[in-house]
Amino acid sequence: MTQYSSLSTVKPLSINDLSAMKRRGEKISCLTAYDASFSMLIDSAGIDMMLVGDSLGMVIQGHDTTLPVKMDDMVYHTRCVSNARRRAFVIADLPFMSYATPLMAAENAARLMQAGGAQMVKLEGARTDCVAFLVDQGIPVCGHLGLLPQSINQLGSYKVQGKERVEAEKILADAHKLEQAGAGLLVLECVPAKLAGDISAQLSIPVIGIGAGIDCDGQVLVLYDMLNIGVGKRPRFSRDFMQGAAGIGQAIAAYHEAVKQLQFPTPEHSF
């Protein structure tokens, strides 16, 4: 509790701080968060970013996919998280079909920032039209490539993306397009470690991996997975940080340290 109180005088991180971390080679730690209590614990551990993910549809609401998540859900949970944080950079997902057009994307992103307190919004796929429009309105954007959970009905299953050469080349090209459109961050999910490393090296913006190997600029995990309290099977790319920990706060701190010291992910958590 003392550690958390000391954070009350700490200035929140900005996208410029995260970019500086990439330039100096410091790994960025990120976890998903959905409420004030976990937000406080994550912030106290020194985690650099919190992602209010539409994964809440699965780990909080009990759905099989992220598709049922509504804008009202995202605004509510983002506000809960941003109310309690002091230092960590807060990103919020734009849920399924909330960015079908650039104007719709801007209106919904504005809600996440004004009512939710998010500092950046994340959207899936190479939607450069939406990214460029949002950036023009002064809205910071995080891209998301590789496995796209909102496209599960097209993909058919949650599986590694970019294993074939043509597919890998498209992901790499899309990453460059998103950066050129103005994206300030990029999440790569479930792609081969070599591809993720190449993208991280070629882009000037920070690249955050989940199931994408050690060479990304940072790592993100679903909070409930790394605490081993998820309703489903823990993904191969995750790790149970509760093992050997005296409590949740210690497990989160261990994850943060493992990312910073390049001890996570290991090859067994990569593709």
Residues acting as catalytic residues:
189
Token pair, residue 228, equals 């081993």
Describe the crossing of helices 165-181 and 193-202 by its angle, rounded to 10 degrees. 30
Q: Is 32 helix (H, G, I), strand (E, B) or coil?
A: strand
**Is residue 31 helix, strand or coil?**
strand
**Parallel, antiparallel, or unpaired for β 120-122 and 49-52?**
unpaired
Contact 52, 78 (CB under 8 A): yes
**Residue 218 bridge partners (DSSP):** 28, 208
Structure tokens at 76: 């509510």
Residues 6+ apart with CB under 8 A from 108: 71, 94, 98, 99
Return the structure tokens found at 125: 């796929």
48 touches 89 (CB < 8 A): yes
C-alpha span between 48 and 40 (Å, rounded): 13
